[in-house]
Structure 1
Amino acid sequence: MLVAERHHKIVELVNEKLSVRVSELSQVFGVTEETIRRDLEKLEKENLLQRSHGGAVSIKKEEAEIPFLEREIMNATEKRRIALEAVRLIYPGDQIVLDASTTAWYMAKELPDMPLSVITNSIKVALELSKKEQIKVISTGGMLVPESLSYVGPLAERSLQMYHVNKAFISCKGVHLDAGLSDSNEWQALLKQQMMNIADETILMADSTKFGVRTFVQVAGLDQVDQILTDSNIPGKFIEELKEKNIQIKLVD
């Protein structure tokens, strides 16, 4: 079992049981307790669980969004690499929509100053793009979510209906082979659905920790995604299944 896959399953177990001991995890995965302690230390740094005396406890709060500043540092290296790959898919004259994910913000930072129209519900993305004179930025407006510094709600959804774009770049909290894309927040999920609806092509940007995860609200089925950008730590079974579903997947180093 790959390390990334073990980490996925550890988080799933902790969230399912709410608390798990190191000795139990050691037996389940057939590795030493020292290895499990290192795993838990890494997962705690990524805000996926909390270590306790002799084990770990769940910090699962699916109905609440993780603040942007916390998400910014979670798997930052992988997200930056995915963002760089996403930028390569954008050409002068494109019309695109970016969600309020940290990966979209990294994209905004890396986008060259060229003729583009960009729609976004993210304040951070809009501010970053405002530094580039040739990029036309359109904000959805709507109800402000302070934790993610983004706009959601009926006004944001209706404003998107006015537009058509070439490409939608979105992220999500979970990518499940059967359940598809999911998010922890209903408002964000509804807005991502609308972003996909107005786009000719949907590019999903998701680091490997999102795979095998199913969260509170479904966003869309995998068949509605045209291309997935992820890092090379994704378990092999997902690559095979996605190819069988004729979904293009690009691994970044």
Structure 2
Amino acid sequence: MYQEERLVAILEFLKRNNRISVEQICSLFDVSRDTARRDLVRLEEEKSIVRTRGGAILPSVHNEVKNYSHRLKTVSEEKRIIGKKAASLIYPGDRVILDASTTVQSCAEQIENTDCTVITNSINLAEVLSSKQDVNIQLLGGKLQKEHRFLYGSSVVEKLSEYHVDKAFIGVVGISERGLTIAHEEDGTVKRKMIRQAKQVIVLADHTKLGITDFFRFADLKDIDLLITDKTPPKAFIDLLRKNNVELLTAEQENEGED
């Protein structure tokens, strides 16, 4: 077997088993320890593995969180469906918090021009709502995260302490048995405070976020009241929600009958 073929086979073994030892390479491919080590050196140079004492493991994979403009274009139909369902839960006279996630922005875009008050730390969302004459907007002031278009910092958290609202609509990067997670701690700190100021906490997450755990946990499942998603989750995930007294609202039926 040529080295290139062995390297492919080693990676396939790692994908199935997470780790491989020099001894295993020798046994699987009938090669010497020196040859096995050279294979691992080659794979390490290509950044395909991380060498360990006596073998190798696969490198950790972190999904890159794209900038706000890029995320607006991602799974846009799913976000529209979820946003429409979420917007239908905002009634005249409501006082609500909307965070800086792109799925929550889709909710803002579909809010009827009705007399309600929206508190947000998203400059994009404030711009969207500015075209709705009857919607009152409270934009939280703070330091601007330019790439992801949200305001954060102690001034934002302190100002949130002054508000008590009917509902908070929160977006996530991941929601799992480990709770609600996000990529940036400064964003998560603001979301955590938003949750504490609301009578009802509503999480908006498309099906790709379910069962995912990202970098920073800002809330537990028991901290939320309702999850709106676009597809019916697996039974194990539904059971997890029930265990934590989280209601589930699936918006996939909104697609039916539409062109």
| TM over 0.5, shorter chain | yes
| 1:229 and 1:251 in contact (8 A); partners too | yes
Partner-residue secondary structure (3-state), 2:127: helix
Runs of 5+ consecutive residues of structure 2 not aligned to the other structure: 1-9, 18-45, 47-58, 253-259
Partner-residue secondary structure (3-state), 1:132: coil
Answering whether residue 97 of structure 2 is matched by residue 97 of structure 1, we say: yes
Partner-residue secondary structure (3-state), 1:175: strand
* Alignment-derived partner of residue 134 in structure 2: 134
* Alignment-derived partner of residue 176 in structure 1: 176
* Alignment-derived partner of residue 241 in structure 1: 240
* Alignment-derived partner of residue 219 in structure 1: 218
* Alignment-derived partner of residue 74 in structure 2: 74
| 1:81 and 1:252 in contact (8 A); partners too | yes
Post-superposition offset of 1:231: 1.6
- Higher RCO (CA-CA < 8 Å; seq separation 6+): 1
Post-superposition offset of 1:246: 2.0
What is the alpha-carbon distance in structure 1 between the residues aligned to residue 204 and residue 182 of structure 2?
A: 13
What is the alpha-carbon distance in structure 2 between the residues aligned to residue 245 and residue 99 of structure 1?
A: 23
Runs of 5+ consecutive residues of structure 1 not aligned to the other structure: 1-19, 29-51
What is the alpha-carbon distance in structure 1 between the residues aligned to residue 11 and residue 99 of structure 2?
A: 38
TM-score by length of 2: 0.73
Post-superposition offset of 1:114: 0.4
Which residue identity does 1:204 align to in structure 2? V
Instruction: Pick which of 243-252 and 135-144 moved more.
Output: 243-252
Structure 1 stretches of at least 4 aligned residues deviating more than 4 Å after TM superposition: 20-25
Change (3 A) 1:83 1:58: farther
Post-superposition offset of 1:66: 2.6
| 1:68 and 1:147 in contact (8 A); partners too | yes
What is the alpha-carbon distance in structure 1 between the residues aligned to residue 63 and residue 248 of structure 2?
A: 30
* Alignment-derived partner of residue 190 in structure 1: 189
Post-superposition offset of 1:60: 2.4
What is the alpha-carbon distance in structure 2 between the residues aligned to residue 127 and residue 77 of structure 1?
A: 21
* Alignment-derived partner of residue 62 in structure 2: 60
Partner-residue secondary structure (3-state), 1:192: helix
Post-superposition offset of 1:242: 1.0
Instruction: Pick which of 151-160 and 227-236 moved more.
Output: 227-236
Post-superposition offset of 1:24: 7.2
Which residue identity does 1:209 align to in structure 2? T
* Alignment-derived partner of residue 147 in structure 1: 147
Change (3 A) 1:235 1:122: same
- What do the CA deviations read for 1:66-100 (whole angstroms, capped 9, x no partner)? 31011112221111111111011110000000000
| 1:196 and 1:202 in contact (8 A); partners too | yes
Please, what is the CA RMSD of the aligned residues?
A: 2.4
TM-score by length of 1: 0.75
What is the alpha-carbon distance in structure 1 between the residues aligned to residue 175 and residue 166 of structure 2?
A: 23
* Alignment-derived partner of residue 16 in structure 1: none
* Alignment-derived partner of residue 125 in structure 2: 125
What is the alpha-carbon distance in structure 1 between the residues aligned to residue 63 and residue 228 of structure 2?
A: 26
* Alignment-derived partner of residue 42 in structure 1: none
Partner-residue secondary structure (3-state), 2:199: strand
| 1:209 and 1:234 in contact (8 A); partners too | no
Change (3 A) 1:127 1:58: farther
Which is greater in Rg? 2
Post-superposition offset of 1:200: 0.5
- What do the CA deviations read for 1:191-216 (whole angstroms, capped 9, x no partner)? 00110011001000011111121111
Partner-residue secondary structure (3-state), 2:124: helix
- What do the CA deviations read for 1:152-202 (whole angstroms, capped 9, x no partner)? 11111111111111000001111111x110111010000001100110010
Which residue identity does 2:213 align to in structure 1? R
Post-superposition offset of 1:247: 1.1
Which residue identity does 1:200 align to in structure 2? K
